[in-house]
Structure 1
Amino acid sequence: MKKTVTALIGLSLLVSCGNKNQAPLFADVALADEKQTSDWLAYGRTHNERRYSPATDINTNNVADLKVDWFIELPNDVGLVSTPLVVNGVMYFTGTMNIIRAVDATNGSLIWEYDPKVVEEVKGKRKIGWAHSRGISFYEGRIFAATWDGRLIAIDAGTGAEIWSVRTYDMERSLYITGAPKAFKGKVLIGNGGTENGPTRGWVTAYEADTGEEAWKFYIVPGNPADGFENAAMEMAAETWTGDWWKHGGGGNAWHGFTYDAELDMLYIGTGNGSPWNQKIRSPGGGDNLFLSCIVALNPDTGEYVWHYQTTPGDTWDYTSNMDIILADLNIEGEERKAILHAPKNGFFYVIDRKTGKLISAEPYVETTWASHIDMKTGRPVEVEGSRYEDGPADITPSPWGAHNWQAMSYNPQTGLVYIPTHHLSTNFSDEGIDLENWQAREFTGGLGVRRKFSDKQPREYSASLQAWDPVKQEVAWYLPQETFWNAGTLTTAGNLVFQGRSDGKFLAYEASTGEILWEFDAGLGISAPPITYTINGRQYISLLVGFGGGFAGLGADAAELGWSYGIHSRRLISFSLEGSAEMAALPPPYFPEPLNDPNFTINDEMAARGAIVYTSCGVCHGSGLIAGGMAPDLRASALVLNKEAFSSIVRDGILAGRGMPGQPEITERELEDLRHYVRQRAMETSTSDRTGSTNNPRKEVESH
């Protein structure tokens, strides 16, 4: 059954237990229930964030019979990376520009649509960030959503009416939100991203779920000691920093990785990298730089510090710990341990006691050239000499893309395995030629404080894999090499299955115990979002959003090689079942934009050189080297660039803000013209050349500093 959301506004559905337009008041007990199969109530299905369902209707014996049950065309959406929720027969999901939709989970009929009007909020303002979101949260009959521009909003789950909205940071800051809020114990937690965009000091804030009033705030790194410290944790953390770190912000932004432990009544947050990346700038005398790259346990009622475990002390490689924090009970050497399972960017898989924060075990799950191992006596990595590029350029594995990024991993308590979307890449780090003493980031211009480029020698012939990891034995159980990079998160079930979508558009089911491929579906477009499952009226569904997105979609030539060009392939929400019979038209084949050749445009090389500098902040969406990967249009092929007035109305005035292109009101006439000359120069340079790059490795990683 096909539904187009733009044609269904106004339809309604009763979702309550007898009360019209009132959603069930599920709270922490329901959100922690691992036994139910009807709903998907939280980002990771339950508070435990396992992405595991005990449903067995779809299993290894019949998964090959999966077919499309219903689908929705999403023609106005771009990158889709989020996890839908299912509550009492209603599916909720977020699309481009943070528009929230509620649909009937059995047929896709639209119930309501909520538009937070991000376009109006950012109009005329300098803004950075992304037009996508990884998800939403449900709690006591409300949907909680965060917007790209920094608002946290509560929505009535039954009607779609806004209940309250709060601004979580000043619009003059170069911050953004792409993560899902975490609702728990009457509160909603949210952080933000933007470490690379300016001098930022990371924090998380908890708001009262009923009113939106601020309950508490926890800063991740200390501020200027002269201003005093907010609490004892910040005073302790300050002892691990040197120099005038507060002038650089420090970083640590928590943009993903929030878990509430309903059993222990503990909140865990994963923290980010330093601002800037290079520790020699932000903390020139070294130090651990707490609480960068940590799991921090907090009191959920007050936000007070309880314990921390730091995965990468003194991070200088963008090794965030913002990845999944999964809760599991493991039998280790005959003892039941309440554990955290964590696979951050740095390449080591951690099993941590979630009561105390003490390390239980840690082993590398990919190649790790920055550290040889984790010292079990101290819990600290044993770093390889020269890995901090202190003696010159250094090839470091994993790369800043991480051994594992935000793409969700899942844990199956039946097989005892964790299923990780894994990356195998190496990056060359260097700060040669950078004035380390005087370097300073500014709002909206930012910087890393380090040069990076793709290493000549890579750890493997393939850049990604799906890996089944045994957290008790701390070893790989099975793995499958993948030819394409940036594949989506996983789902696992009691049917002995693992599901994953890939950036090449394939959606697959694997036998969870062996990795054997049991079913494959061609979605016709790269998949970046993780699947979910739920059961209604005896029918088990597998659902996911299809729409190439996330950081790799803005990379450039290698993402472009996939052919998911902007505006060509309609995004979709697809639900499968064993009983499915929907007919879904095929999407167009991969498309590769051809740069326009305009002999009437005379290129000025000097202006183009200046335009290349202006373009630096554009490349994260439009692609490094002006080769777009699918997140945004390929400007080399755009006729609008040839029209000075039209180009100005888009770049400066923001007339296409609704498509994710906010205006840049501060840009000058000269900069606009320089930018046009750079675009035309690159179009001419690439118009007759063959497509370069390889989906096997994203080798066009731009050198940045």
Structure 2
Amino acid sequence: MKHMYLALSTLLIAGGVSAQTITEDDIRQATRGIDTQAIIANAGETRNWLNYGLDYAETRHSKLDSIDTSNVSELGLAWSHDMQSRRGVEATPIVVDGIMYVTASWSVVHALDAVTGEELWVYDPEVPREYAHKGCCDVVNRGVALYEGAVFVGAYDGMLHAIDAATGERLWVTDTIENREMSYTITGAPRVIDGRVIIGNGGAEFGVRGYVSAYDATSGEMDWRWYVVPGDPAKPYEDASMEAAAETWDPSAEYWKAGGGGTIWDAMAYDPDLNLLYVGTGNGSPWNRHLRSPGGGDNLYLASIVALDPATGEYQWHYQNTPGDTWDYTSTQHIILADLTIDGAERKVLMQAPKNGFFYVIDRTNGAFISAEPFVEVTWATGYDENGRPIEAEGARSKTEPWETIPSAYGAHNWHPMSFNPETGLVYIPAQGVPLVQSTDPAWELNSHKPMSTMSGVGWNLGYLFNAVAPEATPFGHLLAWDPVAQKEVWRAEYVSPWNGGTLTTAGGLVFQGTADGRFMAYDAATGEVLWQTPVGSGVVAAPATWEHEGEQYVTIAVGWGGVYGMMQRATDKVGPGRVYTFKVGGKSAPPDTVSTERLELVSGVPYDPDHVGDGLAIYVSNCLFCHGVPGVNNGGAVPNLGYSAPEVLTNAKDIVLDGAMVQGGMPAFADKLSEDDLQKVIAFVQGTADAIRPK
């Protein structure tokens, strides 16, 4: 199905007093002129939201100020729209002249009248539902790109689609995955620069080689591809950057057979004056450097910021945040470009707060290190030296002892976008802590399903065991206002949970953020005072956008709980459905009904052999853990926790687990991985765990 339907009939404006008609010609007129120069020009007034991070600098700072500290308390709901989504929603909408494009889970694109919320068309890229297990972190998508009348979306199954912005008809589709035997995905939003659609892939957990690619916006033909890590040294290297990178890897473990990792699955920014594209690279494959590159080495270009020529993909320079990454400290988190006065001189910088817990200020002209300071507690390193290398803590790379790495692999800041307000001089970071203890997995083998090897049954290649001993840290989440020049915290707002949404800041002196506990909030950007909040029916992970139409300012947030943490945990009694909420001063629409998913009673009464509990644990860890969590301990997020199942779920487990009865919801069939005997052992572990923790 190329598109689901087109509904360009008369659309009622809220209140029903008047009506407007959006025609295909209206949409073509609004979208056909959106190109590189239009995106650059829009940064001057930010009336529209034309790029994933608003502008090419990815500041997420709007110059609109009709909504400000004096009237934000008067915000009301203008409209909401049900996206028919039951998994994570991570998209920031693109908005131009009252037309909105936003994605739901499974990479489904919704075109909406941005003033009324009425649907114009829906495009379903028809991602095969059995593809869900090929990604680490939910069937999510962070948004689209808009360029010269076309909408571009990277689908979860790695296909890049071009769609007619006016009709929702497919223009072309191309496969970004060079090896379909590997588990590559796309979850990030494309960027378009001078007629080239640029997109990276996910999959470093699964044993792939990372790369970023550019495609002709008109034809879909690939223009260039840059690889993150070197390939097989028996073959010619693609370019000089790969030859240089190979010197930093130990070939004794044949790292190229595990792909090496480094996938570029999110962060990109562009400086049109310097003509440089900046990309953030991911973790190694496997995570554990002792297994990936046993002789050590920096393992370029993992966990790095890399500058490329956007026309050719040619490497320009790099800065490596985490040399020899062994903790899943990706540098795929948001990159922001700004001009800052540092030590009395104006510097062209880029800023990043990646997973490893340090806030970086880097010279974006040449990659020179300026500063790095921890913005949360950090135990893997004590700081950075004058050359920009971390000073690692003793024991941070232990081969034998469990290590409670802080931050954990969930990151001190994950993909949730931060924002920068040049008026306050502050960066607003969704900071967090999720405790984990990791230790080397002595049984790990590449692409080998071994009970107790974490998620190895669905293709993960980590080389680590987790929480062999209990973590001592406690989870946290907060909104952090950070001074990037002084490299210090200015204020923070505490939350009840990690995994809060991305941020937006405005010239009205505001910061907007959605929260894990189901609120959408506005703060005074200078002081952190809470000025407004409203319930939105589910936890929020996406970042908001603001835009103007016919002189009126609106604020929009896409809501839908999920992601790698959100699959297992939640901080509300509600999960889903995925919705788009749009607010304006004086909005009076009634909020939609919400769906409660109360935590159920622990499962009981399912017969099992107690002798099978231990074996069931090992099978569960290697196949189920990172989706369903620990039975009865995690409370279940976008994916149910089996410890709170109805007994019928366990007694009918063969239909679900082996025969694929729930494939359409993203639950894979395990008939080729598990036997009926294995399944009975898993059931014993689930029911046995529930019985063990049940209050007496």
TM-score for the superposition, normalised by structure 2? 0.90
How big is the shift at 1:564?
3.4
Deviation at 1:550, TM superposition (A): 1.1
- Quote the residue 1:534 is aligned against: 547
Q: Is the 8 A contact 2:5 2:122 kept in 1?
A: no
Distance 1:9 1:621 in 2: 37
Counterpart mapping for 1:580-595 below 5 A: 580-589=587-596, 591-595=598-602
**Mapped pair 1:677 → 2:686:** no
CA gap 1:530/1:213 in 2 versus in 1, 3 angstroms: same
- Kindly indicate whether the alpha-carbon contact (under 8 Å) linking 2:99 and 2:114 is maintained by their aligned counterparts in 1: yes
| Residue in 2 that maps onto 1:700 | none
* Residues in 1 aligned to 2:270 and 2:263: alpha-carbon distance in whole angstroms: 19
Correspondence 1:570 to 2:577: yes
Cα drift, residue 354 of structure 1: 0.9
Deviates more, 1:362-371 or 1:214-223: 362-371
Deviation digits for residues 389-426 of structure 1, max 9, x if unmatched? 24633332211111111011000111111000111355
Question: Aligned-pair distance for 1:643?
Answer: 5.2
Deviations 1:515-571 (A, max 9, x none): 11111112232111111101111211111112111111123xxx2563335xxx433
The match for 1:631 is 638
Post-superposition shift, 1:610? 4.2
Distance in 2, matches of 1:676 and 1:128, equals 22
* Corresponding residue for residue 164 of structure 2: 156
Q: Answer whether contact 1:593 1:634 (CA < 8 A) is retained.
A: no
Name the counterpart of 1:483. Answer: 496
CA 1:98–1:181: 2 relative to 1, 3 Å: same
Structure 1's 173 and 510: CA in aligned 2 closer, same or farther, altered over 3 A?
Answer: same
Q: Which of 299, 306, 312 pairs up with 2:309?
A: 299
Distance 2:241 2:87 in 1: 41
How far apart in 2 are the matches of 1:388 and 1:667? 32
The answer to whether the 8 Å contact 2:8/2:23 transfers is: no
Q: Is the 8 A contact 1:394 1:430 kept in 2?
A: yes
Question: Counterparts in 2 of 1:412-561, with a 5 A limit?
Answer: 412-431=421-440, 434=442, 444-453=458-467, 463-555=476-568, 559-560=569-570
Report deviation, 1:453.
2.4
Give the aligned residue type for 2:104.
G
SS in 1 for 2:492: strand
Indicate the residue corresponding to 1:343 in structure 2.
Answer: 353
Counterpart residue type for residue 246 of structure 1: W
What SS class does the counterpart of residue 164 from structure 1 fall into? strand
Mean CA deviation greater in 170-179 or 405-414: 170-179
Amino acid in the other structure paired with 1:548:
W
For the 8 Å contact 1:43–1:137, the answer to whether it is kept is yes
Decide whether aligned partners of structure 1 residues 301 and 63 sit closer, same or farther in structure 2, where only a CA change above 3 A counts. same
Deviation for aligned residue 1:104: 0.2
Once the two structures are TM-superposed, the CA of residue 265 in structure 1 deviates from its matched residue by: 1.1
With over 3 angstroms needed to count, the CA separation of the structure-2 counterparts of 1:352 and 1:270, relative to structure 1, is same
Shift of 1:652: 4.2
What's the offset of the Cα at 1:6? 10
For structure 1, which runs of at least 5 residues remain unmatched after alignment? 691-705
Equivalent residue for 2:627?
621
Distance 1:671 1:89, change over 3 A: farther
1:622-676 residue CA offsets vs partner (Å, 9 max, x unmatched) = 22336552222343424553554xx444434545333223444524542574366
Is residue 48 from structure 1 mapped to residue 53 from structure 2 by the alignment?
Answer: no
Q: 2:243 is paired with a residue of what secondary structure? A: helix
Q: Deviations over 1:468-492 (max 9, x none)?
A: 1111111112122222111111000
Alpha carbons of structure 1 residues 538 and 206: separation in structure 2 relative to 1, 3 Å: same
User: Distance between the aligned counterparts of 2:401 and 2:25, measured in 1?
Assistant: 66
Code of the residue aligned with 2:509 in structure 1: it is N
- Equivalent of residue 579 in structure 1, options 568, 573, 586: 586
Match of 1:382 in 2: 391
In the alignment, the residues of structure 1 paired with residue 448 and residue 468 of structure 2 have an alpha-carbon distance, to the nearest angstrom, of 24
| SS across alignment from 2:297 | coil
Partner of 2:649: 641
CA displacement at 1:683 relative to structure 2: 7.2
Measured in 1, the distance between the counterparts of 2:369 and 2:321 equals: 10
> 1:237 is matched with which residue: 245, 249, 274?
245
Tell me how far apart the structure 2 counterparts of residues 588 and 391 of structure 1 sit (CA, whole Å).
Answer: 47
1:204 aligns with 2:212: yes
Q: Give the distance between the partners of 2:49 and 2:183, measured in 1 at CA.
A: 33
Verify the 8 A CA contact 1:11 1:110 in the aligned structure 2. no
Cα distance, 1:292 vs. partner? 0.4
Aligned with residue 83 of structure 1, among 92, 99, 121: 92
Q: CA deviation at 1:196?
A: 1.8
Say whether the 8 Å CA contact 2:574–2:595 is kept in structure 1: no
Q: Which moved further from structure 2: 631-640 or 249-258?
A: 631-640
Give the alignment partner of residue 271 of structure 1, picking from 270, 281, 288.
Answer: 281
Candidates 362, 366, 370, aligned match of 1:360: 370
Going from structure 1 to structure 2, the CA distance change for 1:247 and 1:642 (only over 3 Å counts) comes to closer
3-state DSSP of counterpart to 2:631: helix
Moved more, 620-629 or 532-541: 620-629
Q: Find the aligned partners of 2:180 and 2:692 in 1 and give their Cα distance.
A: 38
Deviations 1:366-393 (A, max 9, x none): 22221111112x2111112221124633
- In the alignment, structure 2 segments of 5+ residues that lack a partner are 11-20, 450-455
Question: In 1, distance between residues paired with 2:688 and 2:617?
Answer: 10
Q: Percent identity?
A: 42
Question: Which stretch of structure 1 is more off in the superposition, 475-484 or 300-309?
Answer: 475-484
Kept in 2, the 8 Å contact 1:22–1:159? The answer is: no
- Among 260, 271, 291, the alignment partner of 1:281 is 291
Q: Which residue of the other structure, out of 600, 603, 608, is the alignment partner of 2:608?
A: 603
Give the conservation status (yes or no) of the 8 Å contact 1:411–1:419.
Answer: yes
In structure 2, the residue matched to 1:696 is none
CA distance in 2, matches of 1:675, 1:159: 51
The SS at the match of 1:92 is strand
SS at match of 2:390: strand
Taking the aligned partners of 1:41 and 1:305, their CA distance within structure 2 comes to: 27
Higher alpha-carbon deviation: 481-490 or 665-674: 665-674
Q: Which amino acid aligns with 1:140?
A: E
- What is the identity, as a one-letter code, of the residue corresponding to 1:38? R
Deviation track 1:319-364 (CA, whole Å, cap 9, x = no partner) reads 1100011111112222221110111111111111111111122222
Does the 8 Å CA contact 2:269/2:335 hold for their aligned counterparts?
Answer: yes
Instruction: Kindly provide the CA deviation profile for residues 72-93 of structure 1, in whole angstroms up to 9, marking residues without a partner as x.
Output: 1234432212111112211111
Higher mean Cα deviation, 580-589 or 467-476?
580-589
Q: Which residue of 1 aligns with 2:452?
A: none
Q: Secondary structure at the residue paired with 1:225?
A: coil
Superposition deviation, residue 597 in structure 1? 3.0
8 Å CA contact 2:424, 2:525 repeated in 1: yes
Confirm or deny that 1:660 pairs with 2:673. no
Helix, strand or coil at the partner of 1:352: strand
Deviates more, 1:367-376 or 1:9-18: 9-18
Does residue 215 in structure 1 map to residue 223 in structure 2? Answer: yes
Say how many residue pairs are matched: 669
Counting only pairs closer than 5 Å after superposition, residues 124-139 of structure 1 correspond to structure 2 as 127-129=134-136, 130-139=138-147
Structure 2 Cα separation of the partners of residues 394 and 683 of structure 1: 25
Matching residue within 258, 269, 272 for 1:262: 272
Distance 1:654 1:210 in 2: 39
Distance 1:7 1:115 in 2: 10
Moved more, 127-136 or 66-75: 127-136
